[in-house]
Structure formats: C-alpha cells, structure tokens
Amino acid sequence: MAKKRDYYEVLGVPRDASEADIKRAYRQKAKECHPDLHPNDKSAEERFKEINEANEVLSDADKRARYDQFGFDGPAMGGSGGFGGFDFSGFGGAGMGSFDSIFDQLFGGAMGGQRRQGPQPGNDLRFDMNISFEEAAFGAEKSFDFFRNESCDSCDGSGAKPGTQPQTCPTCKGSGQVRAGGGFMVTVRTCPTCRGEGKIVKEKCPACSGSGHMRKKRTATVKIPAGIDNGQTIIMNGQGEPGTRGGPNGDLYIRVGVKPHKLFKREGTTLRLDMPISITQAALGADVDIPTLKSPVKYHIPEGTQNDDLFRLKGYGIQQLQGSGKGDLVVRVRVEVPRKLSEKQKELLRQLEDSTTGKEYEGRKSFMEKLKGMFN
C-alpha cells in the first residue's frame, strides 16, 4: 500500500498556515486536479480524493490539532481507526461530482445560486452613428432611433398569458436551486426546470410567446462632444435594456464614425491642408485666403516659397476632447506648374529664364556642385 502523504504537503501549505490559506489552497488544488478536467488520467481521481481528505482534516480545528499531535494515528472525529478512514461515500457513484458541481461548491455554490436569482443588470447595446467632420470638430446634438427589448405590455414581463400567473416550480419549490449529494459534500445547482427563476409559465403570453419582453423602438438624443475622433465611443448610461428583478438598465454604447472631409485631414488635434499656389505667388510672395473649418483666414505667402513648404496657423485645428485647448492648422504649399500656356506666356517665361544667372535657384546650384567630378 502506498505511503500516505502529509496533508500540508498535499495542499502545498506550511504547517502554520492560516484557515484562509488552507481554504485558498484547497480551492486551487481542487480546481486543478478535478477528474473531469483530466479524463485520460487514471490517477486524477485518487489525487482529488487525497486533496479533499487533506482539506477535511486541516479545515477542522479539532481534527487539525489531533493530526498535528498524533499524525495519521490520531483518532478520527466521530469514528475510529485514525485519519486513514476518510469517507467518500458522500460523492456517490464513482466518488466524484461533476466539475460544474464542484466548481459551484468551491466558487459560489449556494451563494452563486442566490446571485442568479437576485437583481440582474440589463444587456448593454451598441449603436453605430456616422457624423460629419464639422460635427466631430465642433460638437453637436443628434437624435436617433434604436431598438431594445423591454417588458411585454400584455403580461408586464411575467411571460404568462393575461389572466394567469406563473406557478411555483415543482422541482425546486420556488428556490431556483436543487441540491445533490450528501455526507461530506452537498452541491447546489441552478434548477434545470425553471433555470433559476423559481417559477414556471404554463400558459404563455401570446404577445411575447412567453419571453416576457418585446422589441421596441426608442428615440434618444446624444450630445457629441467637440473633438471626438473616428472610432471613439460615447456611453449613454441606463439607455440599454431593462434589468430583471429590480436590476439596473444596461448602457448604450454609441460608436462614432466620422466622415472624411474634402480638404482637411486630421491627425489628433492637428488639421492638415494641401494648398496649391502659382509659380508667381511662390516666387514673388502673395496674400492668400487659407480655408479653415469656420471661415477663410488671410495669410501672406513669403517671397521665394518652395514646393512642400509648411506654414502653421496656431489654434485653427481641432478642439482637444474634454479640454480647452485647440490644435493647429498645418498648410503644405503645392507650387503648381501652369499647363496650356499661350505663345505670349511662353515667351515671357523664356525671357525670365534667359535673364537668370543661376544664383536664383539654390537647389539647382547645389545639385550642379554635387554633380561635378562624378563622371571624370
């Protein structure tokens, strides 16, 4: 016969472990070693019995004291023959409850059943809303329609045909729970007949087919905060589906989709704009109207502006979400080369080219200097 292992070793706790430490270790070990989780391991049942035997002794103050003093030879509570006579008859059959049963017993059991019968919050809902670029930038109020399940008007949410009432469940006598096993371990599970409700409906409400709820259309108004970005979510508390047994309503999650703008691109709170200007404006400088989200702004393009030069307009970007600051508008200049010139215009450009010395084009000058000596 195999030598029995020390109970403290079985649970993996020191000999001075507290009751809480023992309880915690037992739960963890029982969960890890339950035979239902190891169907191909023939030794799992023996390990599980060993864990429960150790817990039976160490979780009882009197038994633990006698075990600490006498070891396995100590007299057992309510019987004889020492601690080796641990009785597993309470498990019934093969000596094991199902994993669901032991999980309920270890991690909630009867209390878990009470929670299922207590107030339950309603389901959360999601609504996808598309808004314009300007509405995202400046904020807005939007009304919209959505659907949610609510209590049936005909049966007031009972699910029973009007004029009738739900009846007490004959299986659990209205408790919503059933007990199984005996001796060392009693498991408490949700009643399979009424699914924890404690009542059953014999004559179903024709309006809701016995479900107790109906799909209804609702209208809500949401405030879009200035600065919201594409893909962000607004939560409307309590606008989801109603709870049950006095539980709170769920929430409504509004996922915002922002339509792209014809001119502007957004990077956080920064707006970016590509603006074309003529060669003449770039060379000589010019006063131009730069568009913003509200109205055009006068801006002086300096003489000698190059293609892809950037100009920053402070405070003309996007409002910081839930803040007071604003980002900037960054304008990238795109110098446009004219097409379809008249002969007179071409001649003027030739005269311009002939009159230059090369010093006017810094980029060309630098390029030519780098080019020297490459092919010698």
pLDDT (0 to 100) of residue 222: 96
Q: How far is CA 353 from CA 182, 347, 350, 359, in A?
A: 104, 10, 5, 12
State the DSSP code for 239.
-
Mean pLDDT, consecutive 10-residue stretches, the chain (376 aa), reads 80 89 84 69 82 90 83 54 43 41 46 52 91 96 93 88 90 85 70 84 89 90 95 91 82 94 96 96 95 95 95 96 90 94 93 85 78 71
CATH superfamily entry for domain 7-86: DnaJ domain (1.10.287.110)
What lies within 8 Å, CB to CB, of 296 at 6+ separation is 289, 290
- Three-state secondary-structure class, residue 110: helix
Q: How far is CA 215 from CA 206, 323, 372, in A?
A: 14, 39, 80
pLDDT (0 to 100) of residue 360: 79
Q: Decide if 178 contacts 269 (C-beta within 8 A).
A: no
Short-list 122, 150, 123, 163, CA closest to 211: 150
Whole-angstrom distance, CA of residue 282 vs CA of residue 304 = 6
**Kind and range of the H or E run holding 193:** none
Whole-angstrom distance, CA of residue 139 vs CA of residue 303 = 39
Number of C-beta neighbours around residue 323 at 10 A: 10
**Given the DSSP bridges, would you call strands 233-236 and 297-301 parallel, antiparallel or unpaired?**
unpaired
pLDDT (0 to 100) of residue 288: 96
Output the CA torsion 127→129→135→137 (10° steps): 70
Whole-angstrom distance, CA of residue 45 vs CA of residue 246 = 43
pLDDT (0 to 100) of residue 372: 79
Secondary structure (DSSP) of 8-68? HHHHT--TT--HHHHHHHHHHHHHHH-GGG-TT-TTHHHHHHHHHHHHHHHTSHHHHHHHH
pLDDT (0 to 100) of residue 197: 81
**Do you know the residue count of the chain?**
376
| Secondary structure in 3-state letters for 136-147 | HHHCEEEEEEEE
- Write down the residue that tokens 């004959």 correspond to: 170
- Write down the residue that tokens 């292992």 correspond to: 5
End-to-end alpha carbon distance in the chain: 97
pLDDT (0 to 100) of residue 101: 44
- Write down the residue that tokens 């000999």 correspond to: 15
Whole-angstrom distance, CA of residue 368 vs CA of residue 137 = 47
CATH superfamily entry for domain 264-337: Urease metallochaperone UreE, N-terminal domain (2.60.260.20)
Whole-angstrom distance, CA of residue 169 vs CA of residue 192 = 10
Backbone angles phi, psi at 320, to 5 degrees: -70, 130
What token pair was written down for 99? 């994993």
* All structural domains of the chain with their residue ranges: 7-86, 120-150+209-260, 264-337, 343-376
pLDDT (0 to 100) of residue 254: 94
**Kind and range of the H or E run holding 366:** helix 362-371
Whole-angstrom distance, CA of residue 203 vs CA of residue 161 = 6
Short-list 35, 38, 46, 63, CA closest to 10: 46
- 120-150+209-260 and 264-337 have identical folds: yes
pLDDT (0 to 100) of residue 118: 63
What is the CATH topology of the domain spanning 120-150+209-260? Answer: HSP40/DNAj peptide-binding domain (2.60.260)
